[in-house]
Amino acid sequence: MEVLELLNDFENEPDQFVVHKATSPGNALELIATDHFALTLLGLPVTSTIGDGLNLILQMRQLKPIMPIIVLVNQDALGVGIQAMEFGASAFFSRFYLSAKMLQQIIKNLANQFHQLQDYEVHGAEMVNALPVGVLVLDNEG
């Protein structure tokens, strides 16, 4: 199931998440460089090869070193998730086991951690939860 389909299943207030869909790896990098996102959801592979997706993670890390990158892989490609973490992804999940409710909880938890870490680096104190949470999605259901 595509990430956007899962996000559409959320039963939450409309101002809780702002989802931006990247149309290509290049567009994702452009958005990350110019906008603020609490995390990125990345479906692998994003192109015809896994290597391109893994290199995209490296490029995202260069732009936003502390932003969580969550990778979604197909059930038969769990090794790709492990590789993604070696390339800088924060976590990976199998699409097969991922529900809308689980994805919502992942986004909430990681966004809160990201905001706290980011605010600590800037202000030296914890940040109150900031809503809406910006989520970047790049997925073609690998």
CATH code of the domain covering residue 39:
3.40.50.2300
- The answer to whether residue 123 scores a pLDDT higher than 50 is no
Determine the pLDDT at residue 14: 55
Cα distance between residue 25 and residue 131, in whole Å = 26
Domain count, the chain: 1
Q: Which residue has the higher pLDDT, 140 or 73?
A: 73
Cβ atoms < 10 Å from Cβ of 22: 19
Q: What is the pTM of this model?
A: 0.79
Mean pLDDT of 100-127: 67
Q: Cα(first)–Cα(last) distance of the chain, in Å? A: 10
Domain assignment of residue 50, given as a range: 3-138
